[in-house]
Amino acid sequence: MTDAVAGNGAAKGTLAQNGANAGGDVALTGSSASITAQFSLTATTANSVSGAIVIDYASGTTCTFSTTGTYTNNGTNSAVLSGTYTAVTNCTGDTGSYTLNQQCNDTVTSADRRVFTFPIKC
């Protein structure tokens, strides 16, 4: 990840999917801060994603961001979610980008899952 405020760093998280929607926690460890962000994404059949990111800081500030990106499925047990984000409320001027490499753990609970192959089937 690269963030205008937190700097460069690592991101690791768990996203769950229902149909074309996915979301979950992503822990971001930057050069000047460590935070947990809540991701909420919608995927299209063309593998583009859009959605929101919310961060609740310990100081009491809550920042929301809009995000867009792509999901690249190479047909094996790995894939890449990458995108950019821009602050919408609070955190004015904060922008950044992220790349998450999928490590697949499939827990299919219904037949309607993975309609848009986001994330890839394990």
**What value, to the nearest 5°, has the Cα angle with vertex 49 and ends 44 and 51?**
120
How do residues 100-112 score in pLDDT, each as one tens digit? 888 765 555 555 5
Q: What is the mean pLDDT of the chain?
A: 82
Which two structure tokens, joined as six digits, stand for 5? 């405020």
pLDDT of residue 106: 59
Query: What's the CA gap between 67 and 81, in Å, rounded?
Result: 12
Is residue 33 very low, low, confident or very high in pLDDT (cuts 50, 70, 90)? confident
Three-state secondary-structure class, residue 7 = strand
pLDDT of residue 9 exceeding 90: no
Query: What's the CA gap between 15 and 105, in Å, rounded?
Result: 10
In this structure, are residues 65 and 86 in contact, taking their beta carbons and an 8 Å threshold?
A: yes
Backbone φ and ψ for 111, nearest 5 degrees, come out as -70, -20
DSSP letter for each residue of 13-57: EEEEEETTEEEEEEEEEESS-EEEEEEEEEE-TTSEEEEEEEEE-
Domains of the chain: residue spans and CATH: 2-101 (2.40.128)
- Phi/psi-derived region of residue 32, left when phi > 0, alpha when psi is between -120 and 50, beta in every other case: alpha
pLDDT of residue 17 exceeding 90: no
pLDDT of residue 86: 97
Question: Mean pLDDT throughout 76-91?
Answer: 88
* Structure-token match 């890839």, residue found: 120
How do residues 87-97 score in pLDDT, each as one tens digit? 999 999 999 99
How do residues 34-72 score in pLDDT, each as one tens digit? 788 999 999 888 889 999 999 988 888 899 999 999 988
